[in-house]
Amino acid sequence: MIKKKFKFPLMRNNISRNDLNKLISYLKKPNPYLTQGKKVREFEKSWSKWLGVKYSVFVNSGSSANLLSLSLLKLKFPHGGEVLVPPLTWISDIASVLQTGFKPIFCDINLHNLGMNEDEIQKKITKKTRAIFLSHIQGFNALTDKILKIIKKKKILLIEDVCESHGASFKKKKLGTFGWTSNFSFYYAHHLTTIEGGMICTNSKESYQTLLKLR
């Protein structure tokens, strides 16, 4: 029996020579902005239009987007509370919950979409629940009609982690448009990259202005 070895690399170099030349050309300008320049604002507006939200705030990573979302939640609930989270997610999601003084409550996943199980969510909601921090894993949509009904009925905030699922949709709407806030990553191995970088999105003008201050 012949054994074949297969190798599937996580990521190949997706920064082209043309990309690098443009960066070099920009850096050669007399006084190039290295942060928060014109291109950042253009990207934020373009991203908002593509996604279908009113406001987007570009940050240095998806992890920072997570932390900003939870920091915003902390301002709304200064005495803390509980945040429902999945066990299949990233360390930055759980870390941001802990860093802002909330208690993470784990809800097991639905094996069909790798998102939180609806029945687990229903079972673990208490008077202390402040938000559901939902992760859309590997391009899958983790939302369901039942989850949205629970959120509406219980008046609980939804935070979407869409770091791995740019462009995925539910009911003909892109993921990241259902939540109070939504977080994206532009890390090197993701669908769209700025090498590092992230975005936090919202339809609330008040939240947007606060996020700008927090950034």
Tell me the β-bridge partners of 56.
201
User: Token digits for 114?
Assistant: 């790798």
Structure tokens at 128: 């202390």
Amino acid at 27: L
Catalytic positions, please? 190
The per-residue pLDDT for 2 is: 67
Residue with tokens 């014109």, as numbered in its chain? 38
pLDDT tens per residue, range 36-95: 888 899 999 999 999 999 999 999 999 999 999 999 999 999 999 999 999 999 999 999
CATH fold for the domain made of 40-214: Aspartate Aminotransferase; domain 2 (3.40.640)
**pLDDT given at position 199:** 97
Ramachandran bin of 91, using left for φ above 0, alpha for ψ from -120 to 50, beta for the remaining angles: alpha
Residue 108 has pLDDT above 90, yes or no: yes
Strand partners, 104: 83
Residues 115-164 have pLDDT tens digits of 999 999 999 999 999 999 999 999 999 999 999 999 999 999 999 999 99
Tokens of 204: 């609330």
Q: How far is CA 168 from the centre of its chain?
A: 13
What is the pTM assigned to this prediction?
Answer: 0.90
Q: At what angle do helices 62-76 and 91-99 cross, to 10 degrees?
A: 30
Question: Which pLDDT score is estimated for 16?
Answer: 86
Q: Is the pLDDT of residue 171 over 70?
A: yes
Q: How many CB atoms lie within 10 A of CB 46?
A: 11
Q: Under DSSP, is residue 89 helix (H, G, I), strand (E, B) or coil? A: coil
Q: Which of helix, strand or coil describes residue 137?
A: coil
Q: Are strands 169-170 and 173-174 parallel, antiparallel or unpaired?
A: antiparallel
Residue 52 — φ and ψ, nearest 5°? 105, 35
State whether residue 72 is helix, strand or coil: helix
Token pair 């069909």 is found at: 112
